[in-house]
Structure 1
Amino acid sequence: MSEVIRLPDVGGDGEVIEIMVAVGDRVEAEQSILVLESDKASMEVPCPRAGTIKALKFKLGDRLKEGDELLELDVDAGEDSTAAAADSEPAPAAASEPAEKPASAPEPAPTQVQTEKPAPTALPTSAPAESARVHAGPAVRRLARELGVDLGRVEPSGPHQRILKEDVQGFVRSALQSPGAGGGAGIEPIPSIDFSRFGETEIREMTRLQQLGAANLHRSWLNVPHVTQFDQADITELEAFRLAEKTAADQAGVKLTLLPFLISACARLLEEMPEFNVSLLGDGKRLVQKKYVHIGFAVDTPDGLLVPVIRDAGHKGLLQLAAEAAELAEKARNKKLGSDAMQGACFTITSLGHIGGSGFTPIVNAPEVAILGVSRASHQPVWDGAAFQPRLMLPLSLSYDHRAINGAAAARFTRRLGELLGDVRRMLL
């Protein structure tokens, strides 16, 4: 007897990140057929009946919701007829707890250092061949690649020796906390303190985005020899031009801020100074020269920092850049930004001008080799040769990887950036 199996109530919709069966496979009742990833968790979805799969109704990357067709199943003749009614009932357990962590399974200890596989003194930059043979879904493998983790060294805690995202994150925490890794050069890690001895405390979990960001920033800080070049740009005329074009921008349905000018100027400079548009290969001896110019910009969201990317930024006008940046920032804040929209940047801009401050040291977003930090512009007296004139000055902080860029090049970059921002007509030359 042929039967269509549908997705039960799993507490919301989700994306198919792994398909665990194929047409023609025979499955047992409660055997997992796919892995669904929601905004909160990953879960395996079981088949409620035993039988042979005649057709799959979904593919990798599909977003499924309750009631969507999963597969057509040729049900075994001996199956209890009453099971069909049970199939239509919701599965409340799946909504409250991911299927990857059944109640009978012991809770993993993510911060415990593995005794069989000791934490390395540094996270490997590439995963060796054995990582391909471990049991992990595409999302977990992607996370491992982003963090430079060899999945072959990660202890699984999921069913059937499956590696979960929590296992990868726990491995990173263990590696960073081990002597010689977290502090670098054998420096002891920061000791644990019972802060409740001094007053009332509360333990709050970091969001997944904050955890990933912390690991990425720590890795970049330990691996990249940072230097920061500080400068100022006179944007008096640029600000006058921006305000004068407010009506045109409103008619185009966009808000013309300083960001599009910065993106356009930096894209121009990456073409003029290609040594800033490179990445170092893992051997530390070769550079990848990029022939494209994609600019990332940091967006502050309630869950943490995201960096969407504007592609081919040098080929777009100010109004187009303003519209695209606003759209990407809105998606980032509403958790609708896909992973592809945050990949491929050649250079990153991070701005604190809307908050305040006169300068800061941004951390290079490796594998990029430079990042521009922008603080709040302020009116300052500037000597013009005859008298002091009030000018609107914008603080610039350019952090760079000293392995790829020398100090003279960084100083030329900020000076040239000041020239472009000081006279917007230069961007047209």
Structure 2
Amino acid sequence: MKVELPFLAEGVEGGDVVQVLVAEGERVTEGQSLIELETDKATVPVPSPVAGTVAKLLIRQGDHLQVGQAIVELDGAQEGQPAQPTSKPAAPAAPQTEPPPPQAQAAPDRGNEEPDAKQAPPRSVAEQPAAATSAERGSASAGAAVPASPSVRRLARELGVDLARVQGSESGGRITAEDVKAYVRERTRRTEARPDGGAGQGGDRFTTLYGSERREALPSLRRKIAANMAQAWSTIPHVHQFQEADITDLLVLQERYAPKFKEKGVRLTMTSLLLKAVTHALKLYPQLNATIDLTNGEVVYKDYYNIGVAVDTPAGLIVPVIHQVDRKDLFQISVELADLAERTRNRQVKLEELRGATFTVSNMGGIGAGPFMPIINPPEVGILGVGRGRMTPVYRDGGFVPRTMLPLCVAYDHRLVDGAVGARFTNEIVKVLEDFQAMFLGL
């Protein structure tokens, strides 16, 4: 039977194979992890639904899979699927009805066409490199020109590809741009499979007219980030509200209670304080804790406060969610935030911990960033960007005094949030940060 990639979570259509955890001939038990899959923002194991022996691996590390795509073939499985008896006779049936002509003998086995459908272009090059190369080299030595358009030749030069090594997919062996790209992808795969890692950085190097280049496959996470950011920037009318908060007294408060938190094994960070301040402001201005349902022409106001926290990871920006922030004290928030951030950096965060946010906080002060304009994470309608606090001379009571000012920028969706509401919301966050204890006193 063939084991297919199951439905993982709402909105997750597939991902990249990070690691293959089994080998052909290996006996697996029901529930044993077959592969690790990098989805939009989390790495999840894919278990075997039944026990059996791995007859054939249909994927490899680096492949991009879609839900429903076959992963492995299992023999002796405890549970069967109708697909097994139908797929078995398919292989011998083909030669009976249509004997392969001499020129088709190098074609790939039709029985393997389904699991390898997404890799068909690279396979045509990889499975017959010797035949294709010798035939085309012979043609070139005879003085025949390689059949390719000027644009394809230019692409090949830029990628450092010898067209004599590429098999054309069109009539008469004509080479297309996709054939060249498929050749590059397959060469990259072969390079990555070498023990030395090929280029040493997981990619393949080319010499172009302008110098050396290294090409790598775009990771699943980066593809998702790119798609989300492009969609958000092009479809949401952003307004960015800048403000500064005097956090001098807040830093004194943080320093006073930091040892108490440390005794309990956790740090009291500025992000924890920001989450409390934002939640307080969201309760006063529910427009920023809502979403727009354009299909039904409705505004969905949320009575819960789940705050996403942007975390910088080696793979890219990931936003795990602290749920029910309004029901947790600062200690609970600090503990959960530290644990969630650590697991996110190690790609151990769960899919449910990445969903359900009603607002997002992106604090880049820890890496020394100044003011910046964050992009809203749809379907949310607001996000707070925080830069690094800096000592600034502030005029007070007839003289200048040193104060620590924290740069803030609230981005909000102008389709739902008016400028006045966005400004008042931002001012409320500033008010809380400048007099944090007043919030707990209800002032």
TM-score (normalised: structure 2): 0.59
Does structure 2 retain, via aligned residues, the 8 Å contact 1:44–1:99? Answer: no
Q: Find out whether 1:393 has 2:405 as its counterpart.
A: yes
Give the equivalent residue in structure 2 for 1:44.
71
Where does the alignment leave 5 or more consecutive residues of structure 2 unmatched? 1-26, 38-43, 82-111, 124-205
- CA deviations 1:289-324 (Å, max 9, x no partner) are 111111110000000111111111012111211111
Equivalents in 2 of 1:195, 1:359: separation in Å?
39
Give the equivalent residue in structure 2 for 1:200.
212
Give the equivalent residue in structure 1 for 2:389.
377
Report the alpha carbon displacement of residue 388 of structure 1 after superposing the two structures with TM: 1.1
Does structure 1 retain, via aligned residues, the 8 Å contact 2:35–2:46? Answer: no
- Aligned AA for 2:45? E
1:231-246 aligned within 5 A: 231-246=243-258
1:275 to 1:240, Cα distance in 2 relative to 1, 3 A:
same
Does structure 2 retain, via aligned residues, the 8 Å contact 1:15–1:36? Answer: no
Equivalents in 2 of 1:250, 1:345: separation in Å?
28
1:203-242 aligned within 5 A: 203-242=215-254
1:319 to 1:197, Cα distance in 2 relative to 1, 3 A:
same
Equivalents in 2 of 1:40, 1:262: separation in Å?
40
Give the equivalent residue in structure 2 for 1:69.
none
Where does the alignment leave 5 or more consecutive residues of structure 1 unmatched? 56-97, 110-193
Q: Find out whether 1:15 has 2:42 as its counterpart.
A: no
Report the alpha carbon displacement of residue 407 of structure 1 after superposing the two structures with TM: 0.8
Equivalents in 2 of 1:324, 1:332: separation in Å?
12
Does structure 2 retain, via aligned residues, the 8 Å contact 1:235–1:421? Answer: yes
- Aligned AA for 1:285? G
Q: Percent identity?
A: 34
Equivalents in 2 of 1:246, 1:99: separation in Å?
61
Q: Find out whether 1:107 has 2:118 as its counterpart.
A: no
Give the equivalent residue in structure 1 for 2:424.
412
Equivalent position SS for 1:426: helix
Report the alpha carbon displacement of residue 44 of structure 1 after superposing the two structures with TM: 2.0
Give the equivalent residue in structure 2 for 1:53.
79
Look at both structures and tell me which one has the larger radius of gyration over its CA atoms.
Answer: 2
Counterpart of 1:285 (choices 290, 294, 297) is 297
- Aligned AA for 2:28? R
Equivalents in 2 of 1:315, 1:10: separation in Å?
39
Give the equivalent residue in structure 1 for 2:164.
none
- CA deviations 1:128-155 (Å, max 9, x no partner) are xxxxxxxxxxxxxxxxxxxxxxxxxxxx
Report the alpha carbon displacement of residue 417 of structure 1 after superposing the two structures with TM: 0.6
Give the equivalent residue in structure 2 for 1:361.
373
- CA deviations 1:232-282 (Å, max 9, x no partner) are 001000001111112101111101110010001111111111111110013
Counterpart of 2:307 (choices 295, 300, 307) is 295
Counterpart of 2:268 (choices 256, 268, 274) is 256
Give the equivalent residue in structure 1 for 2:155.
none
Report the alpha carbon displacement of residue 349 of structure 1 after superposing the two structures with TM: 0.3
Equivalent position SS for 1:383: strand
1:248 to 1:44, Cα distance in 2 relative to 1, 3 A:
same
Equivalents in 2 of 1:282, 1:267: separation in Å?
26
- CA deviations 1:372-392 (Å, max 9, x no partner) are 000000011111131111110
- CA deviations 1:36-73 (Å, max 9, x no partner) are 99997655232214x88389xxxxxxxxxxxxxxxxxx
Equivalents in 2 of 1:386, 1:195: separation in Å?
66
Equivalents in 1 of 2:211, 2:62: separation in Å?
35
1:204 to 1:246, Cα distance in 2 relative to 1, 3 A:
same
Equivalents in 2 of 1:351, 1:345: separation in Å?
16
1:52 to 1:266, Cα distance in 2 relative to 1, 3 A:
closer
Give the equivalent residue in structure 2 for 1:90.
none
Equivalent position SS for 2:79: strand
1:173-192 aligned within 5 A: none
Equivalents in 2 of 1:342, 1:233: separation in Å?
29
Equivalents in 2 of 1:37, 1:271: separation in Å?
49
- Aligned AA for 2:73? P
Give the equivalent residue in structure 1 for 2:285.
273
- CA deviations 1:93-130 (Å, max 9, x no partner) are xxxxx998549961389xxxxxxxxxxxxxxxxxxxxx
- Aligned AA for 2:121? E
Give the equivalent residue in structure 1 for 2:195.
none
Q: Aligned pair count?
A: 291
Does structure 2 retain, via aligned residues, the 8 Å contact 1:15–1:37? Answer: no
Report the alpha carbon displacement of residue 195 of structure 1 after superposing the two structures with TM: 10
1:58-73 aligned within 5 A: none
Which has the larger displacement, 289-298 or 194-203? 194-203
- Aligned AA for 2:417? I
Equivalent position SS for 1:354: helix
1:242 to 1:254, Cα distance in 2 relative to 1, 3 A:
same
- Aligned AA for 1:44? I
Equivalents in 2 of 1:219, 1:331: separation in Å?
28
- Aligned AA for 1:263? L
Which has the larger displacement, 352-361 or 322-331? 352-361
